[in-house]
Amino acid sequence: MNPTLHSILAFVETWWVELLCAVLIVLVVPLIAGYIVLVERKVMADMQARLGPMRVGPHGLLQPIADALKLLIKEDLIPHNADQFIFWLAPVLSMTAALTSMGAVAFGPWFQVARDINIGLLFVVGVSALGPFGIVLGGWASNNHYSIIGALRSTAQLISYETTAGFALVSGFLLAGTLNVRAIVETQRTDHAWYVFLAPVGFFTYLIASIAETNRAPFDLPEAESELVAGYMTEYSGFRWSLYFLAEYANMIVVASVGTTLFLGGWLRPFSSVHWLGWLDAAPTLLLAAVGAYCVFRAGKQPSRVQSLFMWAVAFACFVVAAIFALASPFSHLPLEKMHDGLYGAFWFLLKDSAYIYIFMWLRFTLPRFRFDQLMRLGWHILIPLALINVVDVGVALALSSEFGLNRWLAMVVTTAATLGAATLLLRWNDKYSAAASASLLADSSVVEDPHAG
């Protein structure tokens, strides 16, 4: 046999799981992003007492596909005065960074492309931090005032909130004692606690910083439509625009996965080491069966025959997946140990990821957008000091528990209380400061513009 072909075959044979995962990520993430958009529209509609998309497919289930088709056949415009090369490069850069960083995320004990890399979560965070280059360069290349203001805002925002996110992650890394994704999840199993309970302040600061990093409301100043048309993507249309859009949603999945892995126990079942709660393993099967039953219930009420057939198909798919979960469950006593770990791990991970992303949506439809000086004050005066204090306090708690044998939970409760006390002082001082600052602003009418506003 041809030696080159032989070595390629050997390579595929050794790494087929990883290759399959990589191909799945590239193929499935755009689809998932589309469906996150549908869920977002449905959640928004629900919060605003509407129905949301209902026409394309039953309950709007085919809406993402229709949207994608529309975007694909739209005219692809490049403005005449734009910098052609960078205009082309920018959305590609955003998408590449988002997809590459997913390579090190463990979506379950078996579903991970880059296994056992020592820097683990740091790789995810670092590579996803390349994505904003796409925003900045795209805004600059468009040769448009709205775009460049959006790009400048995005840069300033990224620099401010990346620091907070980094310190919040450090408090989690200190608890885990490793950067390796698998080892982080395994230490949460052996510690019998998700780190959100040991370092609640760290999780809270990471949550806020991750919303700001993905440019989501209430931090969506780079694309604030009431001020900047569409910010950095004003000049983009068609497929390039959809690349930006996909990158935004892929980034949401990435930051949610980092938060889930480090603070919410990754792919572990809730109370994974408590035996009498083993019945929680039935949850995936029951949940999917319930969704299937709901689809059957709704199928008869669809306006047309095609739609009710589609509903039956969805119900059937749900029942099939539920049956697979049931077969792989520990109650069935079949020799499917590995399959059980992979399936159930992926289920819990995706469930936690979805909950995290749901918080993003909830905040988006609840809170009004920040003003830029408020954004900067929140980042630099409150979140960064809070994250720093939290890192110090977690370090002290770890030292107390390891050097003096203090109960770990007690140490954590004490230091969290200390952090919160410090945060209260910080807020009061900040209120005083900002009151004084706005008074001087009012007195000095020559200062009109905020220096960060671009």
Partner 1 sequence: MLDSVIFYFFAGIAVISAALMITRRNAIHSAVFLITTLLATAGIFLQLRAEFLFISQIILYVGGIMVLFIFVIMLVRLDVPLPQIRSRTRKWIALLVALAVGVEAGVVIFLARKAPGQGLLIPDPAPADKLPPNTEELANSLFRTYLLPFEVASVLLLVAMVGAVVMAKKRTDAP
CA distance 122 to 176: 13
Nearer to partner 1, 167 or 344 (CB): 167
Are the CB atoms for 349 and 267 separated by under 8 Å?
A: yes
Q: Which of 29, 151, 295, 378 binds partner 1 (CB under 8 A)?
A: 151
Work out whether 137 is an interface residue with partner 1 (CB under 8 A): yes
Phi, psi dihedral angles at 370 (to 5 degrees): -75, 155
Residue type, 225: E
Residue 398 interacts with partner 1 (CB under 8 A)?
Answer: no
- Considering the rule CB under 8 A, would residue 117 count as an interface residue with partner 1? yes
Q: Does 118 bind partner 1 (CB under 8 A)?
A: yes
- Taking the complex as a whole, the smallest distance from the CB of residue 162 to partner 1 amounts, in Å, to 7
In the complex, the smallest distance separating the C-beta of residue 151 from partner 1, rounded to whole angstroms, is: 7
Contact call for residue 127 and partner 1 (CB under 8 A): yes
Interaction between residue 102 and partner 1 (CB under 8 A): no
Q: Which is nearer to partner 1, 176 or 315 (CB)?
A: 176
Contact range with partner 1 by CB under 8 A, out of 111-119, 195-203, 291-299, 314-322: 111-119
Interaction of residue 123 with partner 1, rule CB under 8 A? yes
Q: What is the DSSP letter of 268?
A: P
Nearest to 171 by CA among 262, 257, 61, 287: 262
- Whose CA is closest to 113, among 187, 22, 213, 195? 22
Q: Which stretch binds partner 1 (CB under 8 A): 29-37, 140-148, 278-286, 426-434?
A: 140-148
Residues 163-182 within binding reach of partner 1 (CB under 8 A): 179
Selected range binding partner 1 among 56-64, 79-87, 365-373, 427-435, rule: CB under 8 A: 79-87
Q: Tokens in use for 185? A: 């999840």
Q: Which stretch binds partner 1 (CB under 8 A): 31-39, 117-125, 239-247, 344-352?
A: 117-125
> Angle at CA 289, nearest 5°, toward 288 and 292?
90
334: left (phi over 0), alpha (psi -120 to 50) or beta: beta
| Interaction between residue 430 and partner 1 (CB under 8 A) | no
CA gap 119, 115 in Å, rounded: 11
Closest residue by Cα to residue 87 from 217, 212, 238: 238
Nearer to partner 1, 139 or 266 (CB): 139
- Per the CB < 8 A criterion, the answer to whether 212 and 377 are in contact is no
Q: Which of 332, 378, 326, 308 is nearest to 61 (CA)?
A: 308
Q: Which residues would be at the binding site for partner 1 (CB under 8 A)? A: 83, 85-86, 89, 117-119, 122-123, 125-127, 129-130, 132-133, 136-137, 140-141, 148, 151-152, 155-156, 158-159, 162, 179
